[in-house]
Structure 1
Amino acid sequence: MLKRTVFAGGTVFDGASTSRVDVAVSGDRIVDVGTGLDGDDVVDCSGMSIVPGLFDCHVHVMVRDLDISRAEQEPFSLQYYEALRNLSLLLDQGITSARDAAGADLGVKRAIEQKLIEGPRLQIALVMLSQTGGHSDLHLPSGGSRSMSMMMPHPGRPRAVRDGVDDVRRGVREVLRAGADTIKIATTGGVMSPGDDPRHTHFRDDELEVIAAEAAAAGTDFFAHAQGTEGIKAALRHGARSIEHGYHLDDEAIDLMLRADAWLVPTLSATRAIVDAADRGVPIPAESLALAREALQAHRASFARAVDAGVKIAMGTDSPPYAHPSASNLDELQLMTEASSMTPQDAWRAATSSAAALLRQDGLGSITPGMLADLVVVDGRLDDLRGLRDRIRHVSLGGQRVR
């Protein structure tokens, strides 16, 4: 008979609301939620809070930090060992599910599944498809190119830069063949890519139509790096499941999100991380730093308007630099409440049940009987979002304590 463990005496956020109840786990499942529950083992959660395993819907586990110049001098295979550390750091923070938004390949995902390495449940996109001159194009004015390891094609990661309907179609099919769970595209330029502009629109309608059709034919969907207004709208008109970043949302873009029932993954941590890194002396290219500083206020304002309009929000960070000791993916929860009318409970929902819905993880994201037992015990009250990384006291993944 399987052992029954009860988490008792804490405040439980079940993915929707909070209450003072106990949670019973047996095997890999939550089996009971209520008061006065009995078990073979009891975890005393007095003065603590219990939440479902957390999601980060936008990570890059193959990347250590924003120092591209350093990364260009590293051996190609080092990224896999950095992923080993980064996946462990996600678990440290109670993040038991994540979507890697470019970089991790099928080998990384399978290594977790086969318990060769530890890490959260992982969905992968492999690469971010973009046009020539787009966010994945590492061409430099010198005629050379940046050698960012997470963007480089290899046998497990198809090339990212695609142009024209036939090449785009082949690109989607190659990414799916290589094991992607979902398709990521860039419908605008980005902050950290040289020579493009976040406000410019990338891929034409016929290319986006093919992306949507190929993803749907494979039973999956696509999500879009989209920062500029027109690129956001283009992605939504063609069925993007989520918009990542969304720096410049206007009324029409927000209305499209509502009508399409699409999610916004705001990644408020991303622009802040770039500016903070530059302030610490990391050699951020001047063009990228200027774009990040310019985007900061527009990003926060767009996010606030989306929240007020009722757009669905899922937590994602774009992975703040793992190597910096004060960085935490969980800072995103506080940033969301500071930038908008979201309450702490709304932020927890964005990191649990809403994120699970975005990633189609029906068995995760809430604390109810029958759900997988991904649980996080947090010291203190959930309405205090400060210093969350240092307040994690227990992390269970499928009923097994991993932290």
Structure 2
Amino acid sequence: MEAYFDNSATTKPSKEVVETMLKALTIHYGNPSSLHRKGVEVEKLIKASRRQVAKALGVKDEEIIFTSGGTESNNAAILGTIAAQHRRGNKIITSSIEHPSVLNVFKYLETKGYSVVYLDVDRKGKIDLHQLEQEVDENTILLSIMHVNNEVGTIQPIEKIRQILNNSKNKIILHVDAVQSFGKLKMNPSKLGIDLLSISGHKIHGPKGIGALYIRKDLKFTPIIYGGGQEIGIRPGTENVPGILGLGIASAAIEKEIDDGIQKMVQVKERLKAGILSEIKDAIFNGCQGDESAPHILSISFPGIRGEVLLHMLEQDEIYVSTGSACSSKKSSQSHVLKAMGLSEEEIEGAIRFSFSYQNTIEEVDYVLNQLKKHIYDLKKIMMKR
């Protein structure tokens, strides 16, 4: 049996997405900027995909800009806001547990003279709202925050964050990295007071190399790429038609199946979590419980066990998991997320992330739990002999 429990890293594209992309490569291959029929038909398909993404988010079609993925969306949101709003202030805020595509932009902006604040988090990965209240002032122009943490699944309280920002005399722009929440949580950016929001195709059974950025209508925003004027001049360049159409199909599926999908992921997650914590001694759950935790991410530490070793042992059984973020898993440094949460070195080293999709089953959970117990037992037995 194969059990793919690394869906936060990437998901398997759906059959419908693959079929749509194949048609885009073999039939709908015209350039959407061309004036002839081949170009016009592709332009119509792109408009339909934009409508599908917008509908899944509950926003207007013209508020969706296609990008190459979550990293570009995050970079564009932050740098485009800074370029347009810099005269109003130079203070920007984020958290200490953001994705590298946010953290590294903020580190860069520090070198350019911006005053950067990295909010602390508690043991569960929740930001310090009191610290946010203290830091927000008339010089603050932007807060960039992750909706769902990609390593532990903690959900940040976006509504409360927006309320705090609204108490400031200055109009503070709110950017939300929703790469791990789109398709897993119900949300509406405009109702939550979100000004910019990033999503990625390959996290929702769509293709890699495509994403989108929601930009609230009438928001003052400066493009960071210049070219032929595609995507209303905000993201120029010949469109990735197969990717855009694939993202549209994946977004349409979310809009139709989100309730059922969430329920399936919760069942799988809770079954595995309960099994691990009751049957594997010393296992530690990382993150929040219940409604404060995303339905598709489960982080567990096995103190005394090296997560990387356990990962490869599970791989031999065709069980695929992660030790943390896919973007940083090949680096030797420890997880900055788990460090910020205050975990010990032993807990960080022994952390495994299981992440699910609606395609996972209870049978897979039982198989994973059975093999996991065997490998933990074998590793502890080896360690006792040393």
Q: Return the TM-score normalized by structure 2.
A: 0.29
Higher relative contact order (CA 8 A, sep 6+): 2
Q: Return the TM-score normalized by structure 1.
A: 0.28
Q: Report which of the two structures shows the higher radius of gyration computed on alpha carbons.
A: 2
Q: Which has the higher helix share?
A: 2
Q: Which has the higher strand share?
A: 1
